[in-house]
Structure 1
Amino acid sequence: MYIHVGEDLNIRAKDIIAILDKGCVNSSHLVEEFLEQHKEKLVNLSKNPFKSVVITYDKVYLSPISSGTLKKRSNYKEMQEF
């Protein structure tokens, strides 16, 4: 199954390690430090302020889509694995 995380990007669901809400990022010093350490892997998909952070094995994406919406998309049964 693939999940649309913003722009024209779909990520395989099994490659996603975590989806963090923007509030979590703003309130946690550890998450800010993690993002700073992985700056070279950071991909900003949002033209406006991001709403969530999607962490995969290879990259860290700043997504314009809220974490709640991404969670709902991951639960769709009719999405197929390609």
Structure 2
Amino acid sequence: MFLHLGADMVVPLRDVISITDLKSAQSGINSEFLKKMRDEKRIFDISENDPKSFIITTNKVYLSAISSLTLKKRAGHFQIYENI
């Protein structure tokens, strides 16, 4: 299954680690994490300069114009099955 992040970008749902509201990144550990990812050029802004959320995947961090709540609802529509 895939998760649509906006701006014609989809990622495999199995690669999504976290979907977080960007307002929570104003300070603290999220802010430090995003700064480090920016320095490493691992942030991809697909928000057209209006980011509302950030999505951490196994390889990249995406800034999306779609709210974290909406993205979580989209992801919640899929049930993930893993081999144990």
CA distance in 2 between counterparts of 1:59 and 1:48 reads 18
Give the CA deviation at 1:62.
Answer: 0.3
TM-superposition CA deviations, 1:3-49 (whole Å, max 9, x none): 100101111111001011022112x3211111111111000001132
Corresponding residue number in structure 1 for 2:32: 33
Corresponding residue number in structure 2 for 1:16: 16
Matching residue's letter, 1:45 = I
Which 4+ runs in 1 deviate beyond 2 A? none
Q: Which residues of structure 1 form unaligned runs of 5+?
A: 78-82
**Which of 1 and 2 has higher RCO (CA within 8 Å, sep 6+)?**
1
Q: Which residues of structure 2 form unaligned runs of 5+?
A: 79-84
Matching residue's letter, 1:38 = M
SS in 2 for 1:74: helix
Aligned length: 77
1:1-82 matched pairs, under 5 angstroms: 1-26=1-26, 28-39=27-38, 40-77=41-78
SS in 1 for 2:77: coil
CA distance in 1 between counterparts of 2:49 and 2:70 reads 17
Matching residue's letter, 2:13 = A
Taking only aligned residues, the RMSD between alpha carbons, in angstroms, comes to: 1.5
TM-score of the pair, normalised by structure 1 = 0.86
